[in-house]
Amino acid sequence: MNKTASEAARFVRELASALPMDSAVEIVLAPPFTALESVRTVLGSASQIALGAQNMHWEPHGAFTGEVSGPMLRDLGCTYVIVGHSERRTLFGEKDHDVHRKVRAGLANGLRPILCVGESLDQRQSGHTESVVTGQIDAGLAELSASEADVVTIAYEPVWAIGTGHAATTEQAVAVHRSIRARLAAGWGRETAERVRILYGGSVTPQNAESLLRESDIDGALVGGACLKIESFATIALAAKNRPAH
Number of H helices, E strands in the chain: 12, 7
DSSP reduced 3-state for 220: strand
The burial of 173, by beta-carbon neighbours within 10 Å (0-12 exposed, 13-18 middle, 19 or more buried), is given as buried
Q: How many CB atoms lie within 10 A of CB 95?
A: 11
CA distance 98 to 150: 20
Distance of CA 60 to the CA centre of its chain: 22
Classify residue 19 by its DSSP letter: S
Of 236, 157, 241, 246, residue with least CA distance to 194: 246
Q: Which residues are catalytic?
A: 85, 157
Q: How far is CA 208 from CA 73, 75, 78, 203, in A?
A: 32, 36, 29, 9
Classify residue 25 by its DSSP letter: -
